[in-house]
Amino acid sequence: MTFFRRALRAAACVLPALLPFAAPAADWPAGKPITYVVPFTAGGSTDIVGRTLANKMGDALKQSVVVDNRPGQGGGIGAAYVAKAAPDGYTMFGGTISTHAINASLYKKLTYDPVKDFEPVSLVARLPNVLIVNAQLGVNSVPELIALLKKDESKRNFASSGAGTSTHLAGELFADLIGVKLTHVPYKGTPPAMTDVAAGLVPFMFDQVTAALPLVQSGKLKLLAVTTGKRIKLLPQLPTMIESGVPGFEMSSWQAVYLPKGTPRPIVNRVNAEIVAALKQPDVQAKLQDQLAMELVGSSPDELRDFMAREIPRWAELVKKSGATAE
């Protein structure tokens, strides 16, 4: 057998093995629904971002994009599910500062690797958090809350949308900076946590500003301060934590999109392009930026990878300093 014939036979054996992997990238999406996994309960900021992007991508790709809420463990349950999904572009993940930065150091036995198990697609937005208290707590400012916490041990619980979330770490940072031991009460998302704060079952929490506004307007919650370094456009009258007498308190959460590790680069690039395009649309900007106070980004996959490389050690340092744990 000549060398040429042997080469052809070898190619004939190899090509069938390659085709199943090449075909999805070329044909994607090919008449199959896409699942967008949100690792928190419906109604929170991650869910709102996910449903907004899912609708836009569904229209652009002419394919159904279904949101699947899988809350728990600071977003870890949803992240672990996606980490094991087929890398074919039909499972997307609405990642957050919790799932892809904080959890890496907060959990000793994390069931997924935020770097090795995912393909970064795009950093979607940065979000300010606010300090929220029950309206009947009897405080109207951060100094008044601090005074109450130092005086009354029964008020030293704080809620969060889940262990390992930025809202959890905000509470830990607050405790560290004011020198008061606080007890963390984790929930499986923002809505149930905020409901209990509004009902007075937990005195206060940190969370995204717009999630609290309906309950603020109804008189059940009060906003005391924003966690960013500067005041936000949505509520210019709301002081920062630093302005309120807590030096060194500056933090914000973020949202991003990921695909399972090994997803073909053409699919990653296509999803990235659709997300970036969606974030430029006026109705999306009006909803996420103007109404929800988000700072829209729309990064490249490589920019998100570099961003994570900075965020993971940054939050690991805070976790270590605060002694926070989720186990």
pLDDT of 16 reads 43
H-helix or E-strand containing 259? strand 252-260
pTM over cut 0.85: no
- pLDDT one-digit tens code per residue, 198-222: 999 999 999 988 788 899 999 999 9
What gap in Å lies between CA 289 and CA 62, rounded to an integer? 26
Query: Tokens 């506004």 label which residue?
Result: 213
pLDDT of 304 reads 98
Whether the bond between 29 and the residue before it is cis, its omega within 30 degrees of 0, is yes
pLDDT of 18 reads 45
What gap in Å lies between CA 210 and CA 44, rounded to an integer? 9
What gap in Å lies between CA 94 and CA 257, rounded to an integer? 5
What gap in Å lies between CA 225 and CA 110, rounded to an integer? 33
pLDDT of 12 reads 44
- Bridge partners (DSSP) of residue 134 are 221
Q: How much of the chain exceeds pLDDT 70, in percent?
A: 92
256: DSSP letter = E
**What's the token pair of residue 224?**
């005391």
What gap in Å lies between CA 246 and CA 177, rounded to an integer? 7
- pLDDT one-digit tens code per residue, 218-240: 999 999 999 998 998 889 999 99
Residues of the chain under the 70 pLDDT cut: 1-24, 327
pLDDT of 253 reads 86
- pLDDT one-digit tens code per residue, 165-194: 888 889 999 999 999 999 999 998 888 999
Domains of the chain: 31-126+252-322 (3.40.190.150), 128-226 (3.40.190.10)
What gap in Å lies between CA 205 and CA 211, rounded to an integer? 12
pLDDT of 22 reads 42
